[in-house]
Amino acid sequence: MDDSMAEQLQQEMTCDGLLECIHGLKRLDRECFHAVVESEEPSTIDEVAERVDRERSTVYRSIQRLLQRGVVQKTQVNYEEGGYYHVYYPTDPSRITSDMRRRLNDWYAKMSHLIREFEDEHGDTTETVERR
């Protein structure tokens, strides 16, 4: 994210933009997220790869980022004969929004602290103006 906060505030943000902004997602991550969300059943990596028309290994890395960010979940399905595979499904939206609010509050607290440090370092600007 190279845009300044002022530039970001002037842009029209969409829900996808919000996920990218808060979670640091890439375009492919967003496409994979939508593929998982739009599926009626939990999806395998191969199914997601087919929906987004990408290689399995590329989609696997994207799904791993989505798992790390907490926006998708994974479960194991066992074969009766032995062995297993994983399927992926979206995290409950209320958990995603709760996490986004927490991240936003953390960011706000950090920015408030940095503003206080700036204020302490540079002091009251009216004193500087009066000294001239």
Q: What is the DSSP string of 83-128?
A: -EEEEEEEPPHHHHHHHHHHHHHHHHHHHHHHHHHHHHHH--HHHH
Assign 70 to helix, strand or coil: coil
* pTM (two decimals): 0.73
Cβ distance 38 to 32 under 8 Å?
A: no
Please determine, for residue 1, whether its predicted confidence score (pLDDT) is greater than 50.
no
User: Average pLDDT over the chain, rounded to whole?
Assistant: 87
Please determine, for residue 129, whether its predicted confidence score (pLDDT) is greater than 70.
no
Instruction: Reply yes or no on domain 12-91 having CATH 1.20.1250.20.
Output: no
- In this prediction, residue 128 has a pLDDT band, given cuts at 50, 70 and 90, of low
Please determine, for residue 130, whether its predicted confidence score (pLDDT) is greater than 70.
no
The two three-digit tokens of residue 28, written as one number: 């492919």
- In this prediction, residue 20 has a pLDDT band, given cuts at 50, 70 and 90, of confident
72-78 vs 84-90, strand pairing mode: antiparallel
Taking the domains of the chain in order of start, what are their residue ranges? Answer: 12-91, 92-132
For range 66-72, the mean pLDDT: 95
